[in-house]
Structure 1
Amino acid sequence: MDLKLTGKTVLITGASQGIGEGLARAFAEEGCNLHVVARSGDRLAALAQALTAAHGVSVTPHALDLTQAGAIDGLVEAVGDIDILVNNAGVIPSGSLWDVDEAKWRAGWELKVFGYINLTRAIYPRMKARGGGVIINNIGNGGEVFDPAYVAGTTGNASLMAFTRAMGGHSLDDNIRVVGVNPGPVDTDRIYNMLKKRAADWLGDADRYKELQTRYPLGRPAHVHEVTDLIVFLASYRSGYTSGTIFTVDGGIASRRSVI
């Protein structure tokens, strides 16, 4: 299937590892030119070199902390016109209301929640002025599974789901599509760190995390490509009538009403 993405310019935040790195690889394979953003300059530089060598695309790394004053405005000026924005940066800490104090809660939301909102606010008018574009918010199924042991994350993700629907409901009037994706557990360091914390809390031993993993559909987290392939498709013209909606990729976990 030709997604007709060759030559498109994509901005991906949180691109140095996990799903973000997988997205950079997937879009590069489709012939897209990339702007990749994360705090880790060394990892971004290595990724840019590898993707340029493998696919002959332009990959520009931006080593930035998007929570710093002026960082988003500076990034938007540096990247210029883009066709696709994937908001992906940020991890909200797990824990109960008493585990996650106000400082940790605010720090988690600063990048994941307000980062998505502020970058969309900055990019949207530029997309509109040049005739359109696509904004995809990588959110998380915590916004559908209201887990008190992930209270800051479930609240933040639910907010981003509402933001995505609110923006995407009318954005096609400007030829811009705004779409959300809710991954469940994915085969990245983040999910194993969470499972180890849960195993320590529930089973008294972090090393027993694999016992919790077996509760997932198919007994495993999602492969990274099972999320990134969907996002690349949603960014393409073949998904041109899709906006203001959320796609959940969690093996049915949200429908089971349990995160484990």
Structure 2
Amino acid sequence: WLSGWNQKLQCYVRTVQAIYPIMQRQGGGRIVNVVGTAARNPKASYMAVGMSNAALINFNKALADRGAADNILAVGVAPSGVRTGRWERLTKGRAEGEGKTQEQLQAEIDATLPLGRMASPEELGDVICFMASSRASYISGTVITVDGASTQGVFN
């Protein structure tokens, strides 16, 4: 799991290293990091993911502090499950392994969620677009949780 942890973290760090000087030259910009709710909702089965997401939240805050003088805002968006193509592929394999249809498995998962469903990619995209827009000009250094009330914590 260590290589996966490093790989996830390094993708964000290297991307910021590449774009930061460009943003400085242009007088600022927005960085939106998608970090995931596992950072604040630890589970043994998601240990590596949770650790890397927690590190990304720390990275995001430090980046916001550093970027403030250059008008570079950094925010995180922490989604829980989103019904993407990747999710569909993962649940297909899991459903087959459990002797269920993919629809049965998805219905079981949805039944455990407060809103009774997962987020759509469009719902997450809307939040990301807002955070990258000029309408979010005073939001930096924080993480917005987009989880349909599924995270079991008060500091989301």
Find the counterpart in structure 2 of residue 133 from structure 1.
29
Question: How far apart are the structure 1 equivalents of 2:57 and 2:25?
Answer: 25
Q: Does the CA contact (< 8 Å) of 1:196 and 1:206 recur in 2?
A: no
Q: Conserved in 2, the CA contact under 8 Å of 1:132 and 1:175?
A: yes
**2: distance between equivalents of 1:145 and 1:167?**
23
Q: Which amino acid aligns with 1:125?
A: P
Query: Greater helix share, 1 or 2?
Result: 2
* CA shift digits 1:205-233 (9 cap, x unpaired): 35342212321232211121211111111
- Asked if 1 retains the 8 angstrom alpha-carbon contact of 2:40 and 2:153, the reply is no
| Distance in 2 (alpha carbons) for counterparts of 1:148 and 1:190 | 22
Matched, 1:216 2:110: no
Letter in 2 for 1:209: L
What letter corresponds to residue 177 of structure 1 in structure 2? L
**Which has the higher Rg, Structure 1 or Structure 2?**
1
Q: After TM superposition, where is structure 1 displaced by more than 4 Å over at least 4 residues in a row?
A: 193-201
Note the 1:39-118 alignment, pairs <5 A: 102=1, 105-107=2-4, 109-110=6-7, 112-118=8-14
Q: Is the CA contact 2:83–2:120 (under 8 Å) kept in the aligned structure 1?
A: yes
Which whole-Å deviations, capped at 9, do the CAs of 1:21-57 have from their partners, x for residues lacking one?
A: xxxxxxxxxxxxxxxxxxxxxxxxxxxxxxxxxxxxx
Unpaired runs of 5+ in structure 1?
Answer: 1-101
Q: TM-score, normalised by structure 1?
A: 0.53
- What is the alpha-carbon root mean square deviation over aligned residues? 2.3
Aligned to 2:49: 153
TM-score by length of 2: 0.84
Give percent identity, aligned residues only: 36
The offset of 1:198, in angstroms, is: 6.1
Alignment of 1:241 with 2:138, yes or no, is yes
Ranges in structure 2 where 5+ consecutive residues have no aligned partner:
none
Aligned length: 151
Residue-by-residue CA offset, 1:161-212 (whole Å, 9 max, x unaligned)? 11101111342211100110001111113334444566678xx435342212
Q: Distance in 2 between matches of 1:183 and 1:251?
A: 9
Kindly state the Cα deviation for residue 160 of structure 1 after the two structures are TM-superposed.
0.7
Higher relative contact order at CA 8 Å, sep ≥6: structure 1 or structure 2? 2
CA distance in 2, matches of 1:152, 1:106: 10
The question of 1:164 aligning with 2:96 is answered no
| Distance in 2, Cα, partners of 1:234 & 1:181 | 9
